[in-house]
Amino acid sequence: MKGELAIMDTTGDTKVMWDSDNKDEVETAKETFTRLKKKGYIAYTVKGKGEKGEIMKEFDPNAERIVMVPFPVAG
């Protein structure tokens, strides 16, 4: 099963892909996830067709898509 981590940034987003059967890829994605969470990013699992997303506390290698958003501030 393949997963995708989309990190919002100035380039639109940077994607990290992984195959849940590939330990190295899963580990890389998890490291990225954990590092960004420490920086204050909020992770959401999203599904197709605009279904409601969910906040993700821990990295799930079986998640299909994760969107990571920089910590929000009031405008």
Partner 1 sequence: MFIPSFIRGNSATVSTDYANSPNVWSSWNKDYIDTVSYLHSNRIIWKTWNSDYTEGSSGVSDSTNSFFHIDPGTGSSTTDIQVWQVWNVHQEARESTRRASAEQREAWHRMEQEQRQQEEENTARWEAEWKAKAEERQKKEAKAKQRAEELLRSCLTPQQQDELDRLNLFHLIVGDKKYRIKRGRSRNIELLDESGRPVKKLCAHPGEYVPDADTMLAQKLMLETDEEAFLKLANHTPVHYPPEAPTVRPSEQVARAV
Residues that bind partner 1 (CB under 8 A): 6, 8-13, 40, 42, 44, 46, 48-50, 52-55, 67, 69-75
Q: How far is the CB of 40 from partner 1 (least distance, A)?
A: 8
Q: How far is the CB of 7 from partner 1 (least distance, A)?
A: 10
* Ordered alpha helix ranges (H), 7-71: 23-38
Whole-number Cα distances in Å, 52 to 1, 47, 48, 56? 22, 7, 9, 13
DSSP symbol at 48: G
Q: How far is the CB of 24 from partner 1 (least distance, A)?
A: 25
